[in-house]
Amino acid sequence: MKRSISALALGATLLLSPFSLMPAAAADDFPDQDVRLIIPFGPGGATDVIFRLVSRQAEQSLGQSIVPVNMAGAGATLGSREVKNAKPDGYTLLGSHQSIQLSYLAGMADYSYDAFEPMALLTQTINIPSTNSDHEVQTAADIAAYVEANPGEVRVGMIPSSTDHFFWVQFFEAAGIPMQDVRMISYPDTGSQVSALLANEIDFTLLNMPSGASFYEDGAFRPLGVAGEERLAALPEVATLREQNIDLVNTTARGVFAPKETPKENIEVIASAYEQALQEKEVANRIEKEFGSVVSYMGPEAYAAYLEENSTALERVAGNIDFSR
């Protein structure tokens, strides 16, 4: 009897082992179905457009569709939480930027970059402090004198705890402007800030080429400076902040993340597909010329090191922010 039971058990093990012991998504077979890319912002913005553009090209080498899914809400935490809690198999990814860490620092989320596996940094979008073309301020370097002449009356638009909120704190520090001398006006999104600037309800806001190009072209808005290492090809006459003696470089860094414990092999497959996509000249040209961004590919390990450095910098800035304002 013992022999019969043992034989049956061994037979069952041999029958099951090729399948039951196989990983849910072995690297050789991955991916064998569509991959969802959760974008925690609404459609049409820079983050949405850039991820859709690059993902469409990445599909060519991946061999499967990458399906973008907009999941906006709760300060971009609705979408990031969806991915954080997803099965770690590489089929549900997050396309985001510094908002992951910013939401954590502002107390809006109980998780940060550490809750994800970094896959790849794709692009960096250069930010541009801007004003209405009717405003007396002509350059970013003029803002300090304007604030000094109008303490407590200068209105600056921002989305609480977002990249623009952190930018302005860094800008005021670099330009020597006391935070108490400006009024930070909260808006739910960039579109609302654009409307407010058009109506002269605020003095300044932070834009980029995707959100501001058409307004720069028709003369409605004035770009005051470029927060990049170099001038933008689309705005060659606009000086960088550093050229204006404001020591600040500020970009929105967009990358792809996976749930924690996603197999390394699967991460590398996705990262490679995005790397190949960014090597396409047409894609790179559109990123630069249409979106005022630069291709800044980093693989998983380099991206993880970048995020660690970025986290440290953001934590320092957060110490100077009153998130209740």
**CA–CA gap between residue 253 and residue 125 (Å, rounded):** 7
Average pLDDT over residues 160-172: 90
Residue 43 confidence class, pLDDT cut points 50, 70, 90: confident
Domains and CATH numbers, the chain: 35-124+252-318 (3.40.190.150), 128-244 (3.40.190.10)
Would you state the pLDDT for residue 27? 57
Q: Rounded to two decimals, what is the model's pTM?
A: 0.79
Mean pLDDT score of the chain, rounded to an integer? 89
Would you state the pLDDT for residue 161? 79
* Beta pairing partners, 264: none
Least confident of 21-30, 31-40, 72-81, 86-95: 21-30
Would you state the pLDDT for residue 106? 87
Q: Kindly report, residue by residue over 144-154, the tens digit of the pLDDT.
A: 999 999 999 99
Average pLDDT over residues 1-24: 41
- What count of Cα atoms within 13 Å lies in the side-chain half-sphere of residue 33? 8
Average pLDDT over residues 33-48: 90
Residue 2 confidence class, pLDDT cut points 50, 70, 90: very low
DSSP secondary structure letters along 83-123: HHTS-SSSSEEEEE-THHHHHHHTTS-S--GGGEEEEEEEE
Comparing 163 with 280, the larger pLDDT belongs to 280
Comparing 106 with 200, the larger pLDDT belongs to 200
Q: Does 324 score more than 80 pLDDT? A: no
Burial (CB count <10 Å: 0-12, 13-18, 19+), residue 306: middle
Token pair for 193:
């800030």
Q: Kindly report, residue by residue over 234-287, the tens digit of the pLDDT.
A: 899 999 999 999 999 999 999 999 999 999 999 999 999 999 999 999 999 999
Would you state the pLDDT for residue 303? 98
Token pair for 21:
């012991």
Question: Helix 300-318 vs helix 264-278: angle between axes, to the nearest 10 degrees?
Answer: 90
Nearest by Cα to 136 from 118, 149, 123: 149
**CA–CA gap between residue 288 and residue 278 (Å, rounded):** 11
Query: What is the distance in angstroms between the CA of the first residue and the CA of the last residue of the chain?
Result: 77
Residue 189 confidence class, pLDDT cut points 50, 70, 90: confident
Q: Kindly report, residue by residue over 200-247, the tens digit of the pLDDT.
A: 999 999 999 988 999 999 999 999 999 999 999 889 999 999 999 999
Comparing 165 with 83, the larger pLDDT belongs to 83
* Beta pairing partners, 121: 255, 298
